[in-house]
Structure 1
Amino acid sequence: MVEQAARRIAEKVVTSAPAGWTRVVVAGSAGSGSTSVSGGYAVPGATRLRSLPRLFAELSGLAEAVRKVRDWDPTTVEIVCRPSGEYELVAFADGITSLRGLGGGFQAVLDPGYRLPPSSPGQESTAAPAGDPELAVARFRAYMERRAEILGRPERLPPPASAAALDRAERVIGRPLPADLRALYLIANGDAIDHEHRYLLGGDAWLALEDMVAVHAALSEPVWHGWDLGWNSVVFDADPPGTVRRVGGHPAWVPFASGEDGNYLAVDLAPAGNGRPGQIIRMGRDYDECPVYVADSVTALLGRHLELLEQGAYEKDDDHIEPAGPEPGHGPERIIGEIPGEVPAGLQAIHVNDVTSPVDLAPLTGAANLRLLHLNHCATTDLTPIRGLPVESLRVTLDGGDLTPLEGHRHLTSLELGTTTAIDIVPLRTVPNLRGLDLSRAVVRDLAIVADLPDLRYLALSARQWTTLLDEGAVPPTLAAARLADDDASLAEALTWAARLGLDTGDALRTTGSLPV
């Protein structure tokens, strides 16, 4: 069945080939959850590969055939066809994945269970909760009365949750709910009647207790997006700074209201040092890189919504009322383009794109909150301005200069380095939290030094660099994932490389065939 599925793909790409083509590569990942495809036709004189025909159905059929033979889901696949009609298929489990379109090359996962630690766990607040259950109840009742005046009728609410149900929910969650939120559930168990929400909380649907417990179970840990996106990711600080832990998810974040778009309002039961237990944050799909501080308590949130109604700051649409106050900022303060002469005090991320080199980093010395600095398609000569900054993710090309300013840098967790001349990476030995390193664009004098980096978990190199490192027996023993950065590498070459790293690739599927021409 695998052979038949591969042949169907080969027939389609050959039939759809442009004039003068010399080779076509179909690469991607296929499985029951999703299918991705990349590659294209090589045509002499063309500056880029010509596009492939739609192959999602054919790749899904191949994935199903592979699943029956190997039980892999998803599967990394590559099919190469030539005008002679000859074609070959290589397929392997998702321990090796193609990164075409995501930087190029291949990624090998050596330790599937390892996850990078949070950007900064931070210290938990010792402050008392700001919520007041009696005031929260009074505000909620006043809020509902004002809504009834606007709508011309009172709104039905579900019956209250019982104290016993609240106790059970707290046992499952593993910690007590804030007293003001608990008091609201003793008035009503969410805001849905017959599964239709009233959207009481600023346009968010207030969840029933059982739904809150279920959502908490699903979102109690940060979402892991894989090494291709995660190796140099940063979770930024909320505003005000130091109120919310810089993590993408936490067992002590309890979602109690839903935007019905993958985002939630949650009570934060383990805030950072400047926060208050029971504070309200926005978390979820769009907030993985920066949870947003909303209010210091459910009590304060209700007070804000009530005040907006009393001010007439709301929008009414049939049976729904939505307060129209300003939403707290979404995401960190960032700049995309070039470094301004005056850097905002709250700047946390800057992407410098396509500016004249060398880029002077000196204006950044006042960016006391800068966590991410990426120079794209431009270079600098001096990293000294970074020495005292809390930069965690650094992407830079050095045109001269050295890495001495990074010695002992305690914040840096990932470095993507390009160079125009040979460079010494000895200073990286003293960077204690460096876990991700990409040297594929760098000329390195002594590559074996990477074996001395104390806790390196991700390493990206070119094929030539990997050969040097492997031949010298200098692969860092702590690696959990690696990248073969050459965009023109084949899956067969990636399997050979991964095997040298210690990954068992002996059960890779391979098949060849020939079409009539």
Structure 2
Amino acid sequence: MTTGLQAAARRLARGVRTGHTGPAVVWLRIGGGATRITYPVGVEVDLEPDFFDAKSALTELLPVPSGSRPLVVELVVHESGRFELAHSTDLESESRVVLDEDFRLPNHPLPGMALPPGSAHTGAPTDPAVLAEVSALFEEFVERYEQIKGRPPALRPGYSEQEIAAAEADLGVRLPEDLRALYRMTRDDAAETGLLGRFSPYPLDDVVEYHQPGSLGWNDGPFDDAVVFESNPPGTIKRLSRNDWWITFATDFAMNNLAVDLDPAEHGRPGQVFEYGRDVPGPPEYVAGSVTELLEGVVTALREGDYEDEDPESDYLQTHAGSAGGGFGERVYHDFGSRDLAEVVETAHDAQRLVLNDAVELDPAALAPLRTLRELRINRAKLVVPSVADLPALECLAVEAGRIDLDALAHQQTLWDLKLAGSAEAVDLTVLRTLPSLTRLDLSGVEAADLAPLADLPGLRVLVLNAQQWDALRRAGLRPPRLAAAERAGTSSLRDTADWTEWLTGHRLPLHTVTGTTK
């Protein structure tokens, strides 16, 4: 008897066109409201339009977790029409497993951070002096807007003290006094009248909804590009991927947002404002020292006639107050060849991320003057001698080269993320024992002379090896201690990944299967 799941799997398999190089293999990672589709390297797969309709139907029948763990599905379709569908909720992907859900890479804190001093929710009314100052700025904005447009701005009346206090109780924190005062004036700016420049306040219900545990986090997974860069000015915003006490309160309706920072860095101030979102590819960008300062900038721009009113009939009015700075230092050099690294030092003195492509020979020791460099990526070089001990901020090094002199890495103190690839010669891993901060390591693109040192790295939490390297470790009985996540690059089947995961964990991993034929 055919079950609903078997029928859905058959429909999915019928949407796969098999080639002439063996079975077609499709992997699906379903989670977080999205589906990622991948294939093994070298396998020819052609998906018919019906495949995607069938995928939606199949997803409704499979146990997609509601949390962060995805559903991983493998579909194998043979030329004969026979198919096998396997699925698991215990893997991160077809080649990855997370062993410690609470692990985070450096500068990626979990929710549950301590409440900053002076930020406790008290229910007390807004400071009268701050309320008077913000009220005066708001009233001047309304007056000048009306002079420009010939009508008052379409701003809804503000919240009561009780409504603001109720929102703060839900947030678990007291909002800055000037933001409270702004919400006393108006609930939002849905008409985009320019009250906060190109940004508009969210209603308080949205502020509460968007401030969820784990929200406002960038690349928090163990396999993500996870170096957290410094915002400008340095020491103003904490160098973190997320913070419980960054409160999103405004939007430009184009996937960019403003947040107030209740937990600033050493040189910052509570209540400062920063921007993050689609147009901010690096760390948060500092905007203003406070909501009051942001409002003052808008009113000053209107006083000076520094605004854009392209459509007088529209409510929209634009000033450029509240625009963030120019981003963080990132430099990419293509076709570097035999050029001198002194050129890089001269042109990239403020770089935090540096990419060098297609160099002949490189010794990064010449980059020592780059005191803020945190990530260095070298692609397709011929020879690299990674002398990086004098780069005091370096956290991530990725080297792809025909030859890598790994001994030059010895005793680098800050490096926690290392990826090696491309070497024509087997690399000696002994030097890894001298790297005290090493947390994540990817050796899947090189041959190692001896994998034994991997069992002597107690700080190593994320390890990426290819299938042959993992098999060699297993045969030698060497299982790296304290791994929080691992990847088996170049895996060929979900069953192989499940078997490897069982060896890593010592626990059976259920793999559910459905078989049938497309005919």
* Category of TM-score, reference length = shorter chain: 0.7 to 0.9
Look up the equivalent residue of 1:38 and give its one-letter code.
T
Aligned counterpart, 1:212: 207
| Structure 1 segment 3-402 matched on structure 2, within 5 A | 3-13=6-16, 16-17=17-18, 20-30=20-30, 33-39=33-39, 49=44, 51-54=46-49, 55-67=51-63, 74-98=70-94, 106-118=95-107, 134-192=132-190, 196=191, 198-217=193-212, 220=215, 222=217, 226-229=221-224, 232-284=225-277, 287=280, 289-316=282-309, 317=311, 318-324=314-320, 327-329=323-325, 331-338=327-334, 340-341=343-344, 342-353=346-357, 355-385=358-388, 387-402=390-405
SS of 1:314's partner is coil
Could you report, residue by residue, the CA deviation over 1:447-506 in whole angstroms, capped at 9, with x for unpaired residues? Answer: 1222222322210001121122223333222111110011x5222211111111126454
8 Å contact kept, 1:343–1:367: no
SS of 2:223's partner is helix
**Which residue among 448, 451, 457 is the counterpart of 1:447?**
451
Tell me, in whole angstroms, the C-alpha distance in 2 between the residues paired with 1:37 and 1:120: 30
Tell me, in whole angstroms, the C-alpha distance in 2 between the residues paired with 1:261 and 1:113: 32
8 Å contact kept, 1:41–1:50: no
Tell me, in whole angstroms, the C-alpha distance in 1 between the residues paired with 2:267 and 2:32: 45
Structure 1 residue 465 corresponds to structure 2 residue 469 = yes
8 Å contact kept, 2:105–2:222: no
Q: 1:219 to 1:381 in 2, by over 3 A?
A: closer
Count of paired positions: 490
The ranges of structure 1 where at least 4 consecutive aligned residues each deviate by more than 6 angstroms after the TM superposition are 124-127
Structure 1 residue 456 corresponds to structure 2 residue 460 = yes
> Once the 2 structures are TM-superposed, how far is the Cα of residue 92 of structure 1 from its aligned partner?
1.8
SS of 1:378's partner is strand
SS of 2:79's partner is coil
> Once the 2 structures are TM-superposed, how far is the Cα of residue 288 of structure 1 from its aligned partner?
7.5
8 Å contact kept, 1:343–1:363: no
Q: 1:412 to 1:81 in 2, by over 3 A?
A: same
8 Å contact kept, 1:372–1:392: yes
> Once the 2 structures are TM-superposed, how far is the Cα of residue 21 of structure 1 from its aligned partner?
4.9
- Cα RMSD of the aligned pairs, angstroms, is 3.5
Tell me, in whole angstroms, the C-alpha distance in 1 between the residues paired with 2:272 and 2:483: 38
Q: 1:68 to 1:480 in 2, by over 3 A?
A: closer
8 Å contact kept, 2:109–2:240: yes
> Once the 2 structures are TM-superposed, how far is the Cα of residue 287 of structure 1 from its aligned partner?
4.7
8 Å contact kept, 1:125–1:277: no
Tell me, in whole angstroms, the C-alpha distance in 2 between the residues paired with 1:386 and 1:329: 32
Could you report, residue by residue, the CA deviation over 1:87-132 in whole angstroms, capped at 9, with x for unpaired residues? Answer: 333222252413xxxxxxx1112223333341699xx9999xxx96
8 Å contact kept, 2:143–2:152: yes
Q: 1:343 to 1:97 in 2, by over 3 A?
A: same
Could you report, residue by residue, the CA deviation over 1:312-334 in whole angstroms, capped at 9, with x for unpaired residues? Answer: 22222321101035832364221
Tell me, in whole angstroms, the C-alpha distance in 2 between the residues paired with 1:75 and 1:174: 33
Tell me, in whole angstroms, the C-alpha distance in 1 between the residues paired with 2:41 and 2:488: 22
Aligned counterpart, 2:125: none
SS of 2:259's partner is strand
Look up the equivalent residue of 2:25 and give its one-letter code.
V
> Once the 2 structures are TM-superposed, how far is the Cα of residue 73 of structure 1 from its aligned partner?
8.1
Higher mean C-alpha displacement, 450-459 vs 468-477? 468-477
Tell me, in whole angstroms, the C-alpha distance in 1 between the residues paired with 2:169 and 2:137: 28
Q: 1:474 to 1:279 in 2, by over 3 A?
A: same
SS of 2:513's partner is strand
Tell me, in whole angstroms, the C-alpha distance in 2 between the residues paired with 1:363 and 1:146: 56
Could you report, residue by residue, the CA deviation over 1:203-236 in whole angstroms, capped at 9, with x for unpaired residues? Answer: 212123333233233665525653332xx41121
Look up the equivalent residue of 2:136 and give its one-letter code.
A
Structure 1 length as normaliser, TM-score?
Answer: 0.84
Tell me, in whole angstroms, the C-alpha distance in 2 between the residues paired with 1:180 and 1:72: 36
8 Å contact kept, 2:373–2:394: yes
Query: Structure 1, unaligned stretches of length 5 or more?
Result: 43-47, 99-105
> Once the 2 structures are TM-superposed, how far is the Cα of residue 146 of structure 1 from its aligned partner?
1.6
SS of 2:244's partner is coil
Aligned counterpart, 2:406: 403
Tell me, in whole angstroms, the C-alpha distance in 2 between the residues paired with 1:515 and 1:178: 62
Higher mean C-alpha displacement, 317-326 vs 459-468? 317-326
SS of 1:322's partner is coil
Aligned counterpart, 1:2: 5
Q: 1:352 to 1:93 in 2, by over 3 A?
A: same
> Once the 2 structures are TM-superposed, how far is the Cα of residue 133 of structure 1 from its aligned partner?
5.7
Look up the equivalent residue of 1:112 and give its one-letter code.
E
Aligned counterpart, 2:499: 496
